[in-house]
Chains A and B, each alone.
Chain A
Amino acid sequence: MTEHDHPAAGPPAPDGAGPVDAVLSELMVLFPEASLERFEPVAGPVQDIVHVAPADYLDLVTAARNAGFDTFVDLCAVDYLRRDPRFEVVVVLGSMELRRRLRIRVGIGGSPPAIPTITWVFPGANFYEREAFDLYGISFDDHPDLTRILLPDDWVGHPMRKDASVGSVPVQFKGAPEAP
């Protein structure tokens, strides 16, 4: 498990920075409490990750959209169980002009865990937030239609939580009837 041990550093150094870094450092100036992290895998694109508090989350998403990350890519929830805050919502935004991706990670505690919706910024988040609500029980405030999406309406509980059992049906294996 990656802990929240990333350096609480401010914006990256502006020297030798490309257009992406300029956009990102401008963004990080607006949110001094958020932190930026970079993951450069052996293969595949560079990944920029922003950690943000729930209070700044909606503003950050809006600012990122205005800064050029105007494509909605992905939203999902993760249950870290023994960590505080327990849940995390991960949003991936993209920019076709900058050819970059921005991942926004926001930790959510509380019971029920609650966070503002970004459906009004990115309408594409609608179904993804409903999925996170359905499977993790995360409440997205001000969502237009926060109902179950994958599971039946009368389902009890949120099955993707780590404390939800996978469940099993007992099957009794009997010996095959012997041939006469």
Chain B
Amino acid sequence: MSDTPNVVTGDFEALTVEPPAADESQPSTTEERRREIHDIWVAGTEEPSWVRQATDEGSQEMLVAGADQAIAIQEGIVVSDDYVLEDDSAADERQVLNMGPQHPSTHGVLRLHLELEGETIRRVKPIIGYLHTGMEKTAETLTYLQGGTNVTRMDYLSPFHVELVFSLAVEQLLGVEIPPRGQAIRLLLTELNRVSSHLIWLATQGMDIGAISMMLYGFRERELCLAFFEKVTGLRMNHNFIRPGGVAADLPDGWEDDVEVLLEKIPVGIGEYEELLTENPIFLDRTVGVGVITPEECKAYGVTGPPARAAGLAWDLRKVFPYCGIEQYEFDVPVGRHGDVYDRYLVRMEEMRQSLRIVRQLLETMPAGDYRSDDRKITPPPRKRIDESMEALIHHFKLFTEGFKVPAGETYRSIESPRGELGVYLVADGRSRPWRLHVRAPSFNHVQALPVMMTDTLIADCVATLASMDPVLGDVDR
């Protein structure tokens, strides 16, 4: 022992723990104890020493009503521990916990069926379908022009991406090319959408593990993005702005100034959040080494996007299968190493910066020209032409009543959405409605892979893992 005096008592002897000496006054039977406790509570006599020893908090109601076992546990004679199980009682000791579909941390109407042993999750079964509205069936009844209004509601946090992948698939079968300005506008909107979607993720991830203020901060910066979207498309969400053949309209006057403001304010916000979280000991405790998934598991389960990159797979569809001319712009793909929640956080934070870097380049090099294809069989004629040309009027009428026809064929097209690989499998039969439209939703795979990450981990980490996968239930259930 060193010579430093004890700060509390100044006395080393007080710290030594000795077994309680046998007390003559201690009652021997439970019945006597009950009577004595009754006296203490009802008659107000001074409590004897053994009651104070029983628990730190003093005597409790349980001692009055409890059986021998409960009293023994209170006194510390019998150790009660959920982890210690008899060999044959494991199945009986499992507790089934139903989480959701109305749980605030499930990011929608996801339901998790958790089997617990003590605080350890032994089995997870995600149960989905609470938001299923048959959108793929609906898509078969809508023309290609109307289809955008349907698909944009699937992943409601990144509507531009779903519109874009749907348009790209249709354009592949049509064989049309989009003018550079149309492609640049598409990229501008999708990359800003990536930022706004990641901000929602940051807000909810923070809130789910106790950093409530992140919820307010994340929504604050996202609001700037949504205000810009509203200015461009007229709507904050579900825009139906990216359409087969290009985009619905040109960018509004003064859009450069608005984007400039975004580029100025959002990085400041991101920097503040990194300052709050990146080295925060509580945040580190809750995220490092939690919800780990390996690269092999990512491949087998089809996990893509930030969770796969955090696991160390350098795979970004913007680099591998570029779309809309994104290969002309410089950006880096952040890759993690450990595949845990913390690496997913680092990857997403850097992705936001990289997306803003693309937006900066788009702002500086926005090409002039038309914002949509001039193929009048696909895109409506300019309003002016309708007054002058009979043909334009016919085209306009045919487009909005019957829709354009897409040659028979089938294709699979995918892009990098904020959540991962977002794909569309489209079968056309030569008419103006798709024969089959299947959306390969990244969230669907991520929800499916939850058991891989959650099995044999603590229930306290369940919410952190779930939030880090960033599932959107509209995307899962469609």
Binding site for B on A (CB under 8 A): 1-2, 39, 41-45, 47, 70-74, 76, 78-79, 90, 92, 96, 99, 101, 103, 122-124, 126-128, 135, 148-152, 159-160, 166
Q: Which single residue of chain A is at the shortest CB-CB distance from B440?
A: A74
What 13 new A-B contacts, CB under 8 Å, besides A42-B172, A72-B301, A73-B302? Answer: A2-B409, A41-B173, A43-B171, A43-B177, A45-B321, A47-B411, A73-B423, A76-B438, A78-B436, A149-B128, A150-B477, A150-B478, A152-B129
Interface pair A44/B323, CB less than 8 Å apart: yes
Residues of chain B contacted by A74 (CB below 8 angstroms):
302, 412, 423, 425, 438, 440
Binding site for A on B (CB under 8 A): 128-129, 132, 134, 136-138, 141, 168, 171-173, 175-177, 299-303, 313, 315, 320-321, 323, 408-414, 421, 423, 425, 427, 429-430, 435-436, 438, 440, 444-445, 447-449, 477-478
Known: A43-B171, A96-B315. A124 touches B445 (CB 8 A): yes
What is the distance, in angstroms, from B319's C-beta to the closest C-beta of chain A? Answer: 10
Residues of chain B contacted by A39 (CB below 8 angstroms):
409, 411
3 shortest A-B CB distances, which residue pairs? Answer: A124-B302, A76-B438, A124-B301
Known: A43-B177, A70-B299. A2 touches B410 (CB 8 A): yes
Chain B facing A: main interface SS:
mixed
Determine the distance from Cα of A105 to Cα of B409 in the docked complex, in whole angstroms. Answer: 13
Interface pair A1/B435, CB less than 8 Å apart: yes
Known: A47-B412, A70-B299, A124-B302. A92 touches B448 (CB 8 A): no
Interface pair B302/A90, CB less than 8 Å apart: no
What is the distance, in angstroms, from A105's C-beta to the closest C-beta of chain B? Answer: 8
What is the distance, in angstroms, from A50's C-beta to the closest C-beta of chain B? Answer: 13
What is the distance, in angstroms, from A44's C-beta to the closest C-beta of chain B? Answer: 6
Chain A facing B: main interface SS:
loop
Interface pair B132/A92, CB less than 8 Å apart: no
Q: Which single residue of chain B is at the shortest CB-CB distance from A46?
A: B321
Determine the distance from Cα of A123 to Cα of B447 in the docked complex, in whole angstroms. Answer: 13
What is the distance, in angstroms, from B184's C-beta to the closest C-beta of chain A? Answer: 15
- B132 contact from A41, A99, A150, Cβ within 8 A: A150
Residues of chain B contacted by A71 (CB below 8 angstroms):
299, 302
Known: A150-B128, A150-B129. A92 touches B436 (CB 8 A): no
Determine the distance from Cα of A149 to Cα of B447 in the docked complex, in whole angstroms. Answer: 12
Interface pair B313/A96, CB less than 8 Å apart: yes
Q: Which single residue of chain B is at the shortest CB-CB distance from A121?
A: B300
**Which of A76, A79, A151 has the most chain B CB within a 10 Å cutoff?**
A76
